[in-house]
Amino acid sequence: MPASPSASLQHSPLHERHVALGAKLAEFGGWEMPLEYTGVLKEHAAVREAVGVFDVSHLGKIDVRGPGALELLNRCLTNDLRRIGPGQAQYTLVCDDATGGVVDDLIAYVHDDDHVLLVPNAANTAEILRRLRAAAPAGVEVTDQHTTHAVLAVQGPLADQVLEAVGLPTGHDYMSFRVARLDGVEGAEVVVCRTGYTGERGYELVAPAEVAPALWDALLAAGGPVGLVPCGLGARDTLRTEMGYPLHGQDISLDVTPVQARLGWAVGWDKPEFWGREVLTEQRAARPRVVLRGLVATGRGIARPGMSVKITRDLPVGHVTSGTFSPTLRKGIALALVNAQVQLGAEVLVDVRGRGEVFVVTKPPFVEAGVRSS
């Protein structure tokens, strides 16, 4: 009897919880994860208006420890970890040294100079591990925690109320974290990060895989009175697209550099060393020929990845990298790699199934961010 399609996929420690809730499952980076529970639109609205909880345990977890761990990473990653201190987090990139293309984007959580936690994308974790282990000096251990730890994201304006109800700390600054103990679970250490991928106030919780089910149950019970709903990765995608957050494999990749993707703010240009520094510095000085822009539909067209972007029906200037219906704006939005000469405010045509749908070029985010709201 042939194995089921999901048999070769990794499963979250919460897989049985998702099945019991009737989640629609799909493959993400080699993992079978919830796409939706009650519908993308409802889940999207819950995060924008109240609070939702996501299982994002498919994300990688890489623990880097030992004398000089932070300095090792600062020689590899684009951003400057010396800009932050212990208990703080930073968005950064791993670039190919020869081409400057983005191997992955990730969050670095600095415990101290000798201990940093990295959270890369699921599909790229093995490659990040390979590159960092090859670069690590004796005494610095690069440990794969991909399957030993879970990540739950509690996102939305009411996220603090949910965490407080289960005894976890809240109120720390955006892009910072605290380490806490989970009430009722002996020895369970939870990293409570004020981070997220939705544009709303929220937290990402990194916990040992064996306590993830108890944490999930506690969050659902505590969040019920304030309208918390479990959310799938479908809503996470519409939420991040509304914010203009790039997705690796679509908006950024080995074929797209941080300069082209307008991620220069995540590069420590004054650092003497990081992977890709030479080629990226040259590209920055010369100015890129293509850049990542936002597009907003003037009509009812919905752009999808790969669709051609044109100035006229016969003059292509780029292609869509991410596109969706915005539940907040009630219209189509997209990210697209286009010729750098295409100006903000210009009208372009997106080839939607043979029709030239009009979109306006804009600068994301498409909706106001709430990540720093109190």
- pTM beyond 0.85, yes or no: yes
Residue 186 lies in a domain: yes
The CA distance from 277 to 271, in Å, is: 9
CATH number at residue 9: 3.30.1360.120
Q: Answer whether residue 311 is part of any domain.
A: yes
Tell me the average pLDDT across 95-124: 99
Give pLDDT tens digits for 280-289.
999 999 999 9
User: Crossing angle of helices 40-49/233-243, nearest 10°?
Assistant: 60
d(CA 54, CA 231): 5
Asked if 286 and 100 count as a contact pair (C-beta separation under 8 A), the reply is no
Contact 33, 58 (CB under 8 A): yes
Half-sphere exposure of 374 (CA within 13 A, CB side): 3
- The pLDDT score that the predictor gives to residue 185 is 67
Say yes or no: 173 and 34 in one domain: yes
In a shared domain, residues 163 and 202: yes
Of 242, 273, 307, the last residue of a domain is 242
Distance in angstroms (rounded) separating the CA atoms of residues 106 and 114: 19
Domain total of the chain: 3
Q: Which of 2, 45, 6, 15 has its CA nearest to residue 216?
A: 15
Domain-embedded: residue 133: yes
214 and 351 share one domain: no
Of 124, 144, 164, which closes a domain? 144
The CATH number of residue 95's host domain is 3.30.70.1400
Does a structural domain hold residue 280?
no
Residue 203 is assigned to a structural domain of this protein: yes
Q: What is the CATH number of the domain that holds 322?
A: 2.40.30.110
Span 151-171, pLDDT tens digits: 999 999 999 999 999 999 999
pLDDT of residue 3: 43
User: Rounded CA gap, 371 and 157, in Å?
Assistant: 9
Q: Are residues 180 and 98 in the same domain?
A: no
> 316-358 pLDDT, tens per residue?
999 999 999 999 999 999 999 999 999 999 999 999 999 999 9
Domain, as residue range, for 117: 62-144
